[in-house]
Amino acid sequence: MNAKHRTDTSNDELASGLRRLGAMDPGPDFAARVMDRIGAAAPLPGPKRRMARVIGWLTEPRTIRVSPLGGLAAAACLLLALGLFFTINPGTGSGRTPAGLSPVTFVLAAPSAREVAVIGSFNGWKTAGWTMRNDPATGLWTLTTALPPGSHEYVFLVDGTTPVTDAAAALSVDDGFGSRNSILLVKNGDGAAL
């Protein structure tokens, strides 16, 4: 028997089987039997079960092997990301001064403060990214940043609630609420305050 004759015979048998299947009657309770079998099967994982599996996978200890070259590449990526972070966030004191800005260091003596931030006209009076660093030995809070040339109003926000003017500032102005804002004059060039 050649290959063409076998293929024709297989096709004829398949067609005959499909005709017989179509002529069969599954019975009046066919749908009920199918639904019973589906219900008896294990339930599909719901959102809670899936989340539990994901959490289990994330919290399970794993061994990570890194080649020396992969470790160097990961370290380079981390350094690059940190460099971009400190360049983009001016309140972080990266050491590099972006073009058109001048370096400025804010200092406040507040040994009993728990947290101090600089807020002013240069940052929309927001504390995010402008938290000062404390030196417990001296009680001094400092923040080095870069500001554009010009006149800037500011205060120190102590413990998130108390605005404090800069005692070292030569100039201040009424804030319109019964207190005063310190004035910082920044010039071009070396960034020294006037």
Instruction: Choose the most confident range, by mean pLDDT, from 2-16, 83-97, 122-136, 179-193.
Output: 122-136
Residue 152 is predicted with a pLDDT of: 92
Distance CA 46, CA 34 (A): 22
With a cut of 80, say whether residue 184 has pLDDT above it.
yes
| Domain membership of residue 129 as a residue range | 90-186
Q: What is the pLDDT of residues 103-123, one digit of tens each?
A: 889 999 999 999 999 999 999
Question: Which segment of 85-94, 136-145, 158-167 scores lowest on mean pLDDT?
Answer: 85-94
Distance CA 178, CA 165 (A): 13
Instruction: Report yes or no on 46 lying in a domain.
Output: no
Q: Answer whether 118's CB lies under 8 Å from 106's CB.
A: yes
Instruction: Report yes or no on 11 lying in a domain.
Output: no
With a cut of 90, say whether residue 132 has pLDDT above it.
yes
Instruction: Report yes or no on 12 lying in a domain.
Output: no
Q: How many CA atoms lie within 13 A of 50 on its CB side?
A: 5
Mean pLDDT of 176-182: 88
Q: Answer whether 168's CB lies under 8 Å from 193's CB.
A: no
Contacts of 109 (CB under 8 A, 6+ apart): 138, 139, 140, 141
Distance CA 19, CA 21 (A): 5
Distance CA 132, CA 107 (A): 9
- The pLDDT-based confidence of 93 (bands split at 50, 70, 90) is very low
CATH code of the domain covering residue 143: 2.60.40.10
Instruction: Report yes or no on 191 lying in a domain.
Output: no
Instruction: Report yes or no on 30 lying in a domain.
Output: no
Number of compact structural domains in the chain = 1
With a cut of 90, say whether residue 157 has pLDDT above it.
yes
Mean pLDDT of 127-134: 91
Instruction: Report yes or no on 131 lying in a domain.
Output: yes
Residue 79's H or E segment, with its range, is: helix 68-88
* Tokens 């219900």 -> residue: 39
Instruction: Report yes or no on 73 lying in a domain.
Output: no
Distance CA 95, CA 92 (A): 9
Instruction: Report yes or no on 81 lying in a domain.
Output: no
Q: What is the pLDDT of residues 51-89, one digit of tens each?
A: 788 888 888 887 878 788 887 888 887 777 666 555 545
Q: What is the pLDDT of residues 13-56, one digit of tens each?
A: 877 777 777 677 777 887 788 788 777 665 655 566 777 888 88
